[in-house]
Amino acid sequence: MLSALYYPYMSIGSRDVLKNALLLWDKVEVIVPSLYVSLRRFERTWPSESKEEIKLLREAEDLVVSPRIPTGEEQVKAHKALEEMANTGELAALAQKKLPEENGVLFSVDSDKFLHETWDMLRRRKIVHWSGLRRDREVPPAIGLLLMSVLSDICAGTQIQMITDHAEAYAWLAKQRAGILGSQYVTGVNLCQVEPELDRLVALSLGVVGGQNIGLRELVDMRKREANGRTGDYRAMRHRYSKTLAAHVARIMKEARSEADLQELDRQFRDDVEQDFSDLMCELKVAGRNTLISGSVIVSTILAKGGVTEPIDGLAALALRVGVGIIPLVGAWNHYRGARRDVLKKHTMSWLFVAKQRLVCKF
């Protein structure tokens, strides 16, 4: 999966989700009503951030976040799923449940996201409240989370990864639904638990390359280079990294049944990415060494030995000073770039390595 769908809100209010989006996904969709004007209309405020930071956050959003309007078919599927829950009594029971630390504020949902029949069904069961003058419908928080989870699951289908920064609330919801239905809640298989797993794996892999301080600015710049690149190498590196993490999350969901299982799987993941990064660094050194000792750039040895003690601007000036000609030096540089590019294209950790180095050259 190379795309994601964020829920339950219409705008991403988490820096971590935005950072992961830039690191991993081609795009992140957010569900919006049919009459939306732009994401700007719905974006959350960041009261504690400076104007510069807000600008950066919006820049990140523009790169990866896109609106997703549910189709009529998807709304019909959501209605049928919710109607079945209503008929079994699950919705009524869930409406009585209170989220931990709930402050009594109702959950607002734009009416256009669901069919009129869906709202009418909820109204008849006294689950939804509205004055008739507003587009938003207000429901108990547990019901609001459920509504957006059902719709998001349908919109995501099988090829888009659902992500949320409300994993704890959705884990609580899953437990409540299991209790109402008389079934057992199994940790490790709920979709809401994917984002925390990704957060941990991203942190582990960033630690391997010493990239804990890579911030939004560096990632925004990386994605701009990817968008403007002519070769597609940046995207290929990001896809390789994203697929590696997705494969490990799938393994966690399938195999982890205890904290000890999770710790062992994390250890294996850390060992794998450490080995990949070590191999990457060794191969880059070999590529540089092979270029350094080639006949065309034997002048590098002269420079390293102190044969030229003054700064020389540009390859042309260097060629004149040493007397080897500009063409051999350009050829050697292109050879190095090609060898380096070939190495980077093979490794999972290349994406984070390039992000840390803040490279400006084109691969």
Residues 353 and 290 in one domain: yes
- What pLDDT, on the 0 to 100 scale, is given for residue 322? 46
Of the given ranges (34-43, 70-79, 94-103, 344-353), which has the lowest mean pLDDT? 34-43
Contact indicator for 113, 70 with CB cutoff of 8 Å: yes
Query: For residue 96, what are the domain limits?
Result: 1-185
pLDDT of 206 above 70: yes
Q: What is the mean pLDDT of residues 91-96?
A: 92
Q: Of 93-102, 153-162, 198-207, give the range with the top mean pLDDT.
A: 153-162
Residues 84 and 212 in one domain: no
Q: Of 146-150, 303-307, 332-336, 358-362, give the range with the top mean pLDDT.
A: 146-150
What is the pLDDT confidence band of residue 262, given thresholds at 50, 70 and 90?
confident
Residues 200 and 166 in one domain: no
pLDDT of 310 above 50: no
Residues 17 and 119 in one domain: yes
Tens-digit pLDDT profile for residues 327-347: 454 455 455 567 778 888 899
Token pair recorded at residue 248: 């490990």
- What pLDDT, on the 0 to 100 scale, is given for residue 271? 95
Q: Of 244-248, 258-262, 295-299, 316-320, give the range with the top mean pLDDT.
A: 244-248
Nearest to 78 by CA among 183, 180, 148: 148
CA atoms within 13 A on the CB side of 309: 1
Residues 36 and 132 in one domain: yes
- What pLDDT, on the 0 to 100 scale, is given for residue 300? 47
Ramachandran angles phi, psi of 263, nearest 5°: -65, -40
Residues 112 and 12 in one domain: yes
Residues 148 and 227 in one domain: no
Q: What is the mean pLDDT of residues 111-137?
A: 85
pLDDT of 26 above 90: yes
Those residues whose C-beta lies under 8 Å from the C-beta of residue 334, and which sit 6 or more positions away, are: none
Residues 141 and 120 in one domain: yes
- What pLDDT, on the 0 to 100 scale, is given for residue 307? 42
| Residue 110 neighbours by CB distance under 10 Å | 18
- Asked whether the bond before 8 is cis by omega within 30 degrees of 0, the reply is yes
Token pair recorded at residue 255: 């195999």
pLDDT of 229 above 90: no
Sign of the CA dihedral with 352 first, then 355, 361, and 363 last: positive
Torsion over CA of 323, 327, 332 and 337, rounded to 10 degrees? 140
H-run or E-run covering 147: helix 141-156
Residues 261 and 293 in one domain: yes
Which of 132, 154, 185 lies at the terminal end of a domain, its last residue?
185
Which of 169, 185, 201 lies at the terminal end of a domain, its last residue?
185
Tens-digit pLDDT profile for residues 56-74: 888 999 999 999 999 999 9
Helix (H, G, I), strand (E, B) or coil at 65: strand
Of the given ranges (92-106, 226-240, 331-345), which has the lowest mean pLDDT? 331-345
Cα–Cα distance for residue pair 337/363, rounded to 1 Å: 7
Contact indicator for 219, 202 with CB cutoff of 8 Å: no
The more confident residue out of 296 and 100 is 100
Residues 283 and 221 in one domain: yes
Q: What is the mean pLDDT of residues 9-38?
A: 86
pLDDT of 245 above 60: yes
Contact indicator for 152, 162 with CB cutoff of 8 Å: yes
| Residue 101 neighbours by CB distance under 10 Å | 7
Residues 227 and 249 in one domain: yes
The more confident residue out of 328 and 289 is 289
- Number of structural domains (the chain) is 2
Cα–Cα distance for residue pair 107/127, rounded to 1 Å: 11
Residues 156 and 196 in one domain: no
pLDDT of 301 above 70: no
Which of 135, 167, 185 lies at the terminal end of a domain, its last residue?
185
